[in-house]
Amino acid sequence: MSETARRDSRRLTFLVLAAGAGFFAMLQSLITPVLPTIQHDLHTSQNTVTWVLTAYLLSASIFTPVLGRVGDMVGKERTLVVSLAALALGCLLAAVAPSIGVLIAARVVQGIGGAVFPLSFGIIRDEFPAARVSSAVAAISAIVAAGGGLGVVLAGPIVATLGYRWLFWIPMVVVGLTALAAHRFVPESPVRTPGRINWLGTLLLSGWLVALLLPISKGAAWGWTSGRVTGLLLLAAVILVGWLVTETRSANPLIDMRMMRLPAVWTTNLVALLYGASMFSVYAFLPQFVQIPPSAGYGFGASVTQAGLLMLPMLVGMFVAGLAAGRLASRFSAKAQLATGAAFNVLAAAMLTVAHDTRWEIGVAGALVGIGIGLAFASMANLIVANVPAGQTGVATGMNANIRTIGGALGAAVASSVITAHPQAGGLPREAGFTTGFLLLTGISLAAALAALAVPATRRPTPTRHAEPTTPPTGPGHAHNLAAATS
């Protein structure tokens, strides 16, 4: 194949990965602003309709690392096609759902598509020249970040013009075509890790994730001191310990604990946890803040569409910073970009704490958040890709995305408790609740910035294209790769 043909092939591969990852990220946030519309249309309760979000969260948290590992084993291209097909099927089921139960089931199916993140990063590492890996990973990360923001922006206009079911019809068409394109244009994986699925490890991983995320997501509705919440949290702790013991002792672990203990990996995952907590809280509560009617003494009385437009500076900041991160990789390390992104987040949260009385202040703070997210997403992905063996790229980046999701669930739950702790007579949160919430986000963002400084400096990734298949996780070749990754 000529060099021109190889470039064209890589370009097509990148476009396919970008479309799949971008639309999955969009579906994470597209539904949040229109839950009241869905509740009314399907004649259900507020408590039940929140399962549209919870089911998606739980499903994605399970399938993201598991299918990332499957992709490392059997081939990333074919696993990507399966994930995209499941995402398209879930969108179809959601678009025609006659009841809330069917819609919730459809969201579970959509969650399988979460594997597109780790699979995309693994395919880039396998197929792109070493000099292009960092910029391509950064660009996909920018699209993922912007996709999440774009969901908030587009939800209102789509629902107002076409109805909420088009929030699923449009992604179904695009994702379905993307699955066909992935089958046609994305090359088969040249790097694989032989092995088999550790079903006990998979079951235990699923168990502690569900037992942790479910009470965090439903704590406000169930009561944080209720038996269901405390019981599930205790169960999560017990299963987590069991999972760690099982994975450590297994000759064929689902997730290699030695890899997870690498200094660059665990510190980056710590940043992901803290960054997720602040980022998802901004996604959830900044649109809510601007929709508060001025009669409450603050807020702007914005509609869903207007709230989305106020988030537009955030979206632009994410996309521009994420693309710039790839170009800056030759001058600034991923660690430096991660710390800088976290610093932007600190500045934005501090600004929201003391200045949120005008629309321009919200816009500027949103832009700062967007720049921080764009830099952080790109640098976290690059740090993981650069520091794990090629045959572990899918599962490692999948766990990083999962840890960010866990942080997001924790942050949103804590922020919600703070903001709604002392409501006004009409049930709306007080301004002081939001101010305290923004102050809390400042502290979390500062902790993320300090954690970013603890990430060890790493050398640039070595070429992996046309690499030979890796040895099984427990073999001497794997130990050599782990040693090389930490050198």
pLDDT tens per residue across span 187-225: 887 776 766 777 888 899 889 888 988 888 778 778 888
Q: Which pLDDT does position 148 carry in this prediction?
A: 77
Q: Is residue 465 part of a domain?
A: yes
261 and 242 both lie in a single domain: no
What burial class does residue 250 get, using C-beta atoms within 10 Å of its C-beta: 0-12 exposed, 13-18 middle, 19+ buried?
Answer: middle
208 and 234 both lie in a single domain: yes
CA distances from 62 to 109, 300, 309, 384, 405 (A): 12, 39, 33, 19, 11
Q: Are 247 and 253 in contact (CB under 8 A)?
A: yes
Q: How far apart are CA 483 and CA 381, in angstroms?
A: 20
Q: Which pLDDT does position 354 carry in this prediction?
A: 92
Q: Which pLDDT does position 63 carry in this prediction?
A: 87
223 and 371 both lie in a single domain: no
Of 420, 481, 474, 411, nearest to 448 by C-alpha is 411
148 and 123 both lie in a single domain: yes
Q: Is residue 192 part of a domain?
A: no
230 and 175 both lie in a single domain: no
Residue 423: CB atoms within 10 Å: 12
pLDDT tens per residue across span 73-83: 888 899 999 99
Of 391, 376, 343, nearest to 125 by C-alpha is 391
Q: Is residue 323 part of a domain?
A: yes
CA torsion, points 370, 371, 377, 382, in degrees to nearest 10?
Answer: 170
Q: Is residue 191 part of a domain?
A: no
392 and 477 both lie in a single domain: yes
What parts of the chain have a pLDDT lower than 70?
1-3, 5, 192, 194-195, 458-487
Q: Which pLDDT does position 475 carry in this prediction?
A: 39
Range of the domain at 227: 198-252
204 and 324 both lie in a single domain: no
126 and 246 both lie in a single domain: no
Q: Which pLDDT does position 482 carry in this prediction?
A: 31
162 and 83 both lie in a single domain: yes
Q: Is residue 92 part of a domain?
A: yes
Q: Are 374 and 317 in contact (CB under 8 A)?
A: yes
For the chain, how many structural domains are there in total?
Answer: 2
231 and 336 both lie in a single domain: no
Q: Is residue 190 part of a domain?
A: no
305 and 450 both lie in a single domain: yes
Q: How far apart are CA 298 and CA 294, in angstroms?
A: 5
| CATH number (domain holding residue 328) | 1.20.1250.20
216 and 158 both lie in a single domain: no
